Amino acid sequence: YQMKKAGVDFSVGPYPWSLLQKATMGLQEDDYIVFYGRPKSYKSWVLAYFSMMLFMHDKRLIIYTKEMTAENIFMRIIACLSKLPYQEFRSGTLVYDHEMALYQAHRMVHMLQGQEKLIVLSGKDAPPGGDTVPWMQSKIKTYQPHACFIDGLYLMSDVKKNKDKHVKVSSISNDLRQMNLETQVPIFATLQANRAAAKNNEANLDELAFSDSIGQDAT
């Protein structure tokens, strides 16, 4: 208590958003955070932006993706880091100042990637059906990251091989929470909201796709 009163920071790293930072005092070791949103609502961008923030605080990160390539992840992190207009970045039409910022960010990311500060894992890195939570835990044991980011937890494979989607996602979520408690590595994951949620303007936990247990597992 005295150390906290004196301003000692026990968090893994800060949030990029001041209101959330004030409420939580930063990302904690036992955090299992699920960011859910409707399709095409920039969930992967939030993941990239948050990972960039921790990346800049010299934290080692693991990012798992199945919907995007590693190149897509790196491009988004570099765009966030350099505050680049993404469409111009993708189309090769950046103005001079943005180009210079791009090259500088690329050199920094490339250097830190060489130091294994940023590890991007694809579902293709595992054998078919092998991108399970135990597989992810083995990567955490190997790389010893400060945080683990999962772009689409519902896309991972269930080690219990449940066929029902609701049971499958519930099982994956339960296993991720246990992995978080065992490894003390915080997890930040994205999850789709139900497409039917687009019919209304209210956002609440009822919109979570696949499984109600996500709301119980997440901190």
pLDDT digits (tens, 9 = 90+) for 30-80: 999 998 887 788 888 898 889 888 888 889 999 998 878 888 888 888 898
How far apart CA 179 and CA 137 sit, in angstroms, is 7
How far apart CA 144 and CA 146 sit, in angstroms, is 7
| pLDDT greater than 80 at residue 208 | no
- The SS3 assignment for 33 reads strand
The per-residue pLDDT for range 110-163, each reduced to its tens digit, is 887 777 888 888 877 888 889 999 999 999 999 999 999 999 888 899 999 988
User: What stretch of H or E contains 207?
Assistant: none
pTM of the model: 0.86
Local confidence band at 204 (pLDDT 50, 70, 90 cut-offs): low
Backbone angles phi and psi of 161, in degrees to 5: 60, 40
